[in-house]
Structure 1
Amino acid sequence: MRGLRNRIVHSYDTLDLPVVWSTVTDFLPSLLSAISKAESPNGG
C-alpha cells in the first residue's frame, strides 16, 4: 500500500488507473476489516 501511495503522489502523470482501481477494490475491504479488528476493544 505504501508503494501505491508513493506512485500516486510522485508519479501521477504515469499512473495506470485500472491498476489503481483494481488495487482499491481488491485490497481495501480486507485492509478496512483488519483495521476494524485491531481497533476493537478485545483486539479482534
Structure 2
Amino acid sequence: MKCVVTGGAGFIGSHVVRALESAGHEVMALDINHANAAYRVD
C-alpha cells in the first residue's frame, strides 16, 4: 500500500514511517522541518 505520513520527521511520525516500511508499505514522509528529516526518516 502507498502511504503518506504528515509530520514524518517528528518523533511519532518517524516511528510511524519506520513501522509502515517494515510492514512492506511504500511510504512518503512530509514535514515542514527539513533539518530533522534526513536523520529521522532515513
Which TM class, normalised by the smaller chain length? Answer: 0.3 to 0.5
Compare the two structures and name the one with the higher helix fraction: 1
Compare the two structures and name the one with the higher strand fraction: 2
Q: TM-score, normalised by structure 1?
A: 0.33
Higher-RCO chain (CA-CA 8 Å, sequence separation at least 6): 2
**CA radius of gyration, larger in:** 1
Q: TM-score, normalised by structure 2?
A: 0.35
